Homo-oligomer: A and B are copies of this chain.
Amino acid sequence: MNTIVIAADRLRQGLEEALGRTGASAESVAAARRAMMHASLLGVDSHGARLVAHYCQVLASGRVNPTPTLSVRRTGPSTAMVDGDNGLGHLVAYRAVEVAVDLARESGIGAVGATRSSHFGAAGAYARVIAEAGLVGFATTNSDSVVALFGGATPFHGTNPLAFAAPVGAGRPWLLDMATSSIPLNRVLLYRSLGSDLPEGVAADAAGQPTREAEAATMLLPLGGPGFGFKGAALAGVATLFAALLTGSTLDPDFIPMVGTADMSTPRGMGHFVLALDPDRFGGRDAFAAGIGAYLAMLRASPAADGSAPVLAPGDREWAVEAERLANGIPLDPDTAAFLGFG
């Protein structure tokens, strides 16, 4: 596959132009572009610019409202709900984050549920903004069924991400953005096209039996694999608990699939959940800053089992990728490059 490398500024501009041509509102375009640039810069390519053609399609076909009117309903000193009016998930989730940060600044904590939303890309894009505001952040969503339950024979949960982030003094945030499966579904497609075997314990065949054959794999296995996948499956349930059950939104098996369906015109009714906590209402901002500094210093100084691969904190790899890509450009797959006119 010939990747094409594009400078970050040019990619940002290309995303803005492509989204703008759909008639989406300026704030919708800005939010989707921002979230895709987060993912593309940090190396989360599955959720970056690759999805722009999909977002343009669903904006044009009625699934996603290009000009939504979001509404915020405050339900207490620290809680709120955002109605996304079926707009782009990025817009809805960034709005939820704004509200959560405002609530946390005011009351010490902000917990915000979002409804009537759509695919929001990488969960880390939202947790990160909370950390950049000096707060501890959590963001999650659920999605359509592609991951087996532990011992299950059919896809049940989505890859349901959990993202946490925390401020680190003058440095980049501690940032965890993980699917609750071991790998994403498009990794299976990549192994298929490469003709190579999957890692052990990450996918199953149509009967729910673990398989390393990419061609035979029809669903993912939860984190922990055949031995300990009850933990990954339960963590997928945590995403469903916060994003769907707490907000009153769609359950994983009830979603219209993101892709591979003829229905691109019915809104998917997706829920999200974000949380922001102010260290000043707990052990205090100074103790937090000193603690996380000491923690990360100890972690990074910890000896590695393999001398060639240093021990990393969550986010270390991603921020390094960002620095490299800001300097050298962002690799794009040929289809996306052509879609954006970079062919």
Which residues in A have some Cβ–Cβ distance to B below 8 Å? 75-79, 81, 107-109, 111, 113, 115, 136, 148-154, 156, 164, 166, 174, 176, 178, 182-183, 199-202, 204, 207-209, 223-225, 227-228, 230-232, 234-235, 237-238, 240-242, 244-249, 251, 253, 271, 277, 279, 281-284, 287-288, 291-292, 294-295, 298-299, 302-306, 309-314
- Cβ contact of A283, chosen from B81, B202, B303, cutoff 8 A: B81
Contact A246 B109 (CB under 8 A): no
Contact A154 B302 (CB under 8 A): yes
Asked if A164 meets B207 with Cβ closer than 8 Å, knowing A81-B282, A151-B311, A246-B282, the reply is no
Contact A136 B305 (CB under 8 A): no
Q: Which residues of B contact A207 (CB under 8 A)?
A: 305
Q: Which residues of B contact A294 (CB under 8 A)?
A: 251
- Consensus secondary structure, chain A interface: mixed
Contact A238 B164 (CB under 8 A): yes
Q: Which residues of B contact A303 (CB under 8 A)?
A: 152-154, 208
A29 to B237, CA, bound (A): 34
Q: Which residues of B contact A271 (CB under 8 A)?
A: 283
